[in-house]
Structure 1
Amino acid sequence: MEVLIALLTPVLFLPLITGYMATSHGRSFWRWFGIGCALPYLSLFIITYVVYRAQRRFRTLPSDPSNVNLP
């Protein structure tokens, strides 16, 4: 019985972590919680990549869009 609890704890805990990471970066908690339930270990890598891509895209945006066409 203890082995079953030890194996199920990460599987139930990982969707919560995935949902928290998604919420902290403006994504839907329940959507990512569902993805975390379906793909418990893979979902952490997916949300990490999604957040990294969004941050990289944000850094490459011009700081002042009104000055984009100026030399």
Structure 2
Amino acid sequence: MEFVIVLLTPILFMPMVTGYMAYGNGRSFWRWFGIGFALPYFSLLLITYLVHRDKRKSRTA
């Protein structure tokens, strides 16, 4: 059982971080969790860019 936990923790870490960042900025947690699971590193860079872009737009508006 511990072996399964050790294997799943790194696999689920990136999607959880991506989903948390998305949810904290008004986006769907589960959608971004799925994207993070499929494309772990790319999704984190993408959500970081989108959050930065949204904050920059709200500052100028």
TM bracket, shorter-chain basis: 0.7 to 0.9
**1:64 is matched with which residue?**
none
10-19 vs 47-56, which moves further: 10-19
Instruction: Pick the structure with greater CA Rg.
Output: 1
Taking the aligned partners of 2:20 and 2:39, their CA distance within structure 1 comes to: 16
**1:27 is matched with which residue?**
27
**2:58 is matched with which residue?**
58
| AA of the residue aligned to 1:37 | F
Runs (4 or more) in structure 1 with deviation over 6 Å come to none
| AA of the residue aligned to 1:56 | R
Q: Between Structure 1 and Structure 2, how many residues are aligned?
A: 57
Unmatched tracts of structure 2, length 5 or more: none
String of CA shifts for 1:14-70, please: whole Å, max 9, x gaps: 000000000000000000000001101111100000000000000000xxxxxxxxx
Which is richer in helix?
2
Unmatched tracts of structure 1, length 5 or more: 62-71
TM-score norm. by structure 1 comes to 0.72
TM-score norm. by structure 2 comes to 0.83
